[in-house]
Amino acid sequence: MKERMGSGTIKGVGQKEGLNLPKRDETLVTVNPLSQKEERRKTLAEIIKGHEAAVFLFDSRTLKKKAVIALLEDLSPQEQEAFEQLRPLTLELEDDLLEKIIELKDENNQLQAMALIDGLTGLYNTRFFTSQLGKEMSRTRRTGLPCSLLMMDLDNFKTLNDTLGHMEGNHFLVALAEALRENLRTGDTLCRFGGDEFTVIMPATNLFEAALVADRLIKVVQVIAEPLGLGVTLSAGVGEYTTTSSLSPEELVQAADSALYEAKRSGKNRFVLFGKVEPFLDETSMVSVEEKEALFAIKDHLQQKGEGDDR
Amino acid sequence: MTAKVPVVTAISSGKGGVGKTFIAINLAACLAQMGKKVLMVDCDLGLANIDIMLGLNPAHTLKDIAFGNMTAKEVLLNTQGGFDLVPASSGVKEMAQLIFENIDRIKTAIQEISSAYDHIILDTGAGISETVLQFNLFADHNIVVLNRELTSLTDAYATIKVIFQMFGKNRFDLIVNSARNAEEATRIFNHIDSICHRFLGFPLNYLGYITYDETVPRSIMKQTILSLTFPQSPPAVDCAAIARKIAVGH
């Protein structure tokens, strides 16, 4: 399967059931803003090591075609200029992918300057997490919509480090961060909490929806860690904050963390919910006034017909 | 290529009392008569009633599977309809609010015995609870039953909309129940189909209709299966036609 994007590109790689991820030793064709005419073949490992702006696409397990963006180093002003030149050409050919890259790049630069980004994985760090969680919780109080928190920890990550070394461990964390990010929804905030611990803040998400996300991420990790054969899996704890809840941000973290502990204790590779799932129907799922009106349009017809048909 | 992969079909209606369970039982019986191996799972966890409709009084139910005490094999019963049944418990409050792990356990238990069947029919409960949604997610085919009542029409649409929005599923097979004639059934289907098209952006698939007939309440009262006792009655003929479509993959 081939994916094209602008003048540079990448081939679809490492196709596995449900999720396609490039293997570290697989050859990728990278886009280098400076050498856009030549497609350079490198392995993922080289790209990561080589600090080069790389773009690659793959189909995730969701139905949509998604883009995975690996931004491995800030571009120099000169490179940025080259990147800008590439932009109109590429936009014409594909979707707004490059736009997104540039946006992300700007955001990335800014955030790095503010020291809110984790150096290894490029995810938000604990500092950003703390401020963001507080913001989302006040948004809940303001809008009435619940928010949820996912605390995740890799199982048997120490085995990976001990067996393959810390370099490989780090590489795995980078690939993991990408895979997790790809399987989250717009608006979800993924942070590295330190070590092999990750968190996701999910605005406007109740416990049930958060459970679906946790379930998906656990399955994603099963797929990407399976080839290693080291029993690396993901455990997660899920907590929810609602307007009726009196939890502080620290207490919400503690709640999700205790659920995570329970997931580990009861056998790993699973999630545990803190609290109970309530039956729900959110606003967008409700049948709207327009839809009801359209549905009811058949009413007169059915009644007339019914009266005429009655025996 | 010896292991069978059964077709898992969830039957839902949103509104209760639309005739979903009657249809599920009769379709299962028709498929069994066609020589198919059929497993029916009563997923109506709050107020189960397939067992009652079949005159059974099971000692063990889905509850025992959900809480990890028994396997599906230990719970399942042979029925007069020639299909196997995993019955549910009536009026067990805790079942109506099954949490994730319990539902997962049920799914795993069904998968464990699935290779023995051609068709697995999930009779989901009324409403749009998480349990109903989860069984619909689990299924390969999603059948929605509705009748000529406006409340049924609206609830059927709401069910389709929620499943579409939550899981991205956009293939639904519709059965119009208790229709006075083919024309009325088609009108009801066309109506909901056009609304789905307009608001959700995809069409529905028309599986067929069941004619309204006095034999239906009588057969339910007698705890018999209409398709077996009166195969020539209009509703039984309609069920058989729908079952044939299901047997060939719609």
Q: What is the per-residue pLDDT for A256? A: 95
Residue A289 touches partner B, C-beta closer than 8 Å: no
Contact residues on chain B for A262, CB-CB shorter than 8 A: none
Could you tell me the pLDDT band of residue A75, with boundaries at 50, 70 and 90?
Answer: very low
Q: What percent of chain A has pLDDT over 90?
A: 32
Option in B99, B161, B191 nearest A298 (CB): B191
Backbone angles phi, psi at A148, to 5 degrees: -130, 155
Residue B180 touches partner A, C-beta closer than 8 Å: yes
Angle between helical axes of B150-167 and B130-138 (0-180°, round to 10): 60
Q: What is the per-residue pLDDT for A22? A: 43
pLDDT reading at A90 higher than 50: no
For residue A9, give the 3-state DSSP assignment. strand
pTM, whole model, 2 decimals?
0.55
| Residue A37 · residue A7 · CB < 8 Å | yes
Cβ–Cβ of B191/A287 closer than 8 Å?
no
Distance from CA of A147 to the nearest CA of B (A): 17
Q: What is the per-residue pLDDT for B181? A: 93
Residue A310 touches partner B, C-beta closer than 8 Å: no
Q: What is the per-residue pLDDT for A245? A: 87
- Residue positions counted in chain A: 311
Could you tell me which residue, B65 or A277, shows the higher pLDDT?
Answer: B65
pLDDT reading at B76 higher than 80: yes
Taking residues A106-124, report their average pLDDT: 75
Q: What percent of chain B has pLDDT over 70?
A: 92
Interface of A with B in 256-285 (CB under 8 A): 273, 276-277, 279, 281, 284-285
What is the rounded CA–CA span in Å between residue B244 and residue B31? 8
Taking residues B121-138, report their average pLDDT: 87
A86 Cβ partners below 8 Å, 6+ apart?
A: A6, A7, A8, A31, A33, A36, A98
Distance from CA of B34 to the nearest CA of A (A): 34
- Burial state string for A161-192 with b = 16 or more CB within 10 A and e = fewer than 16: beeeeeeebebbbbbbbbbbbbbbeeebbbbb
Strand partners, A153: A197, A235
pLDDT reading at A160 higher than 60: yes
Could you tell me which residue, B5 or A41, shows the higher pLDDT?
Answer: B5
- Among A102-116, A203-217, A268-282, B69-83, which is the least confidently predicted range? A102-116
Q: What is the per-residue pLDDT for A114? A: 64
User: Which one, of B199, B206, B209, lies nearest residue B157 by Cα?
Assistant: B199
Option in A63, A208, A306 nearest B130 (CB): A208
pLDDT reading at A67 higher than 80: no
Q: What is the per-residue pLDDT for B127? A: 81
Q: Which two three-digit tokens encode residue B229?
A: 């006792």
pLDDT single digits (tens) A166-206? 999 999 999 999 999 998 987 899 999 989 999 999 988 88
Give this complex's ipTM.
Answer: 0.81
pLDDT single digits (tens) A258-276? 999 999 998 899 998 887 7
User: Which one, of A195, A139, A149, A132, lies nearest residue A169 by Cα?
Assistant: A195
Cβ–Cβ of A301/B150 closer than 8 Å?
no
| Residue B145 · residue B124 · CB < 8 Å | no
User: Which one, of B51, B64, B30, B43, lies nearest residue B241 by Cα?
Assistant: B30
- CA-nearest residue of chain A to B100? A211
What is the rounded CA–CA span in Å between residue B208 and residue B145? 10
Q: Which two three-digit tokens encode residue A179?
A: 């895979």
Taking residues A119-124, report their average pLDDT: 88
Could you tell me which residue, B95 or A131, shows the higher pLDDT?
Answer: A131
Contact residues on chain A for B150, CB-CB shorter than 8 A: 295-296, 298-299, 302
Instruction: Tell me the pLDDT of chain A averaged across its residues.
Output: 70
Sort A151 into a burial class: Cβ within 10 Å, 0-12 / 13-18 / 19+: buried
pLDDT reading at B156 higher than 60: yes
pLDDT reading at A72 higher than 70: no
Q: Which two three-digit tokens encode residue A263?
A: 């997931």
| Residue A207 · residue A278 · CB < 8 Å | yes
Taking residues A238-262, report their average pLDDT: 92
| Residue B205 · residue B196 · CB < 8 Å | no
CA dihedral B101, B102, B103, B109 (to 10 degrees): 110
Q: Measure CA A94 to chain center.
A: 22
Radius of gyration of chain A (CA): 23
- CA-nearest residue of chain A to B199? A291
pLDDT single digits (tens) B169-181? 899 999 999 999 9
Q: Concatenate the DSSP letters of all residues of A108-150 into one string.
A: HHHHHHTT-B-TTT-SB-HHHHHHHHHHHHHHHHHH---EEEE
Cβ–Cβ of A279/B129 closer than 8 Å?
yes
Residue B200 touches partner A, C-beta closer than 8 Å: no
Option in A284, A287, A301 nearest B154 (CB): A287
